[in-house]
Amino acid sequence: MTSHILFALLGASGIAAGFLAGLFGVGGGLVMVPVLVYAFSAAGVPAEHIVALALGTSMAAIVVSAMQSAYGHYRRGSASTIAFKQAAPWVIVGVLVGSAVASTTSGRSLLLFVGAFQLVAAALMIADVSKLPLVQLIARQGAALNVFSMACGGIAALAGIGGSTLFTPYFKATGMEAKQAVGTSAALGLPVSMAGAIGYAWAGRNVHISDWAVGFVYVPAMVALVAGAFLTVRAGVALAHRLSARTLSTCFGLFLCANGGHLLLRAAA
């Protein structure tokens, strides 16, 4: 595949990811990783590096949107600075460990994990686990935030996401007001994505995939995703406002199930 065709494919992938991220109201990682897996496969990237490259590139692309989101929530006072300061260091540790683990894990195993996580994310979107008494009891323990933050960071690194899918239900389970839970989770997407981008770049430092790659971060794909989000995220948001919350949740759940199921089948093949 020529570089021109590859860049065109990545540009189209960025446009699709930006639109879907705006439509479903997510940071983009849940959308970007499957899109990148398909794009890198079509581009002929060695199979053993496809998933790690998709995860690292997704993390790098999320940095820009996470920065904007974190600043926006901070200005509106919808993020808990206390929870952020406590969770951020543990999140960074978890992300760095997760990215290191990913670099030594087979592509098939990573694909299985990403596919399974897409299904878990679909379940979290549909079921409000924050209302379960057991979840609330665990979340309100003294050291729970530190432990959960490190675990969430590791999972986010292995799934290529900003972490809001996991953090929002957790903060709601602690009794935090819904808007502040969303804002705090969005703010934590910044240290997650930055640590993830650095971690994957470092983990792949001895792997030469392309002259355009920095470790497991493929720069043209990162630029395409950021540009695509800039161009089409508003169109996705506009369509989202025309649909009911239940319709959006159902569509996103089906989207994640289809993606997760396809990735699992691909890993099993």
Alpha-carbon separation of residue 107 from 63, 152, 191, 215, 224 (angstroms): 24, 21, 25, 16, 23
Alpha-carbon separation of residue 18 from 71, 188, 259 (angstroms): 20, 20, 16
List the domain boundaries for the chain: 3-268
CA Rg value for the chain: 17
Q: What is the pLDDT of residue 96?
A: 95
C-alpha–C-alpha distance, residues 62 and 13, integer Å: 15
Q: What is the pLDDT of residue 189?
A: 86
Q: What is the pLDDT of residue 245?
A: 66
**Would you give per-residue pLDDT tens digits along the chain (269 residues)?**
556 676 777 777 777 767 776 666 566 777 788 888 888 888 888 888 999 999 999 999 888 878 877 777 778 787 898 999 999 999 999 999 999 999 889 988 999 998 999 898 888 777 778 888 888 998 888 788 999 999 999 999 999 888 888 888 899 899 998 788 888 888 898 899 999 999 999 999 999 888 889 999 999 889 888 887 777 777 876 777 787 767 777 777 788 888 889 889 888 87
Quick one: which of 54, 55, 45 has its CA closest to 209? 45
Tokens of 190: 């910044």
The count of other CB atoms within 10 Å of the CB of residue 69 is: 22
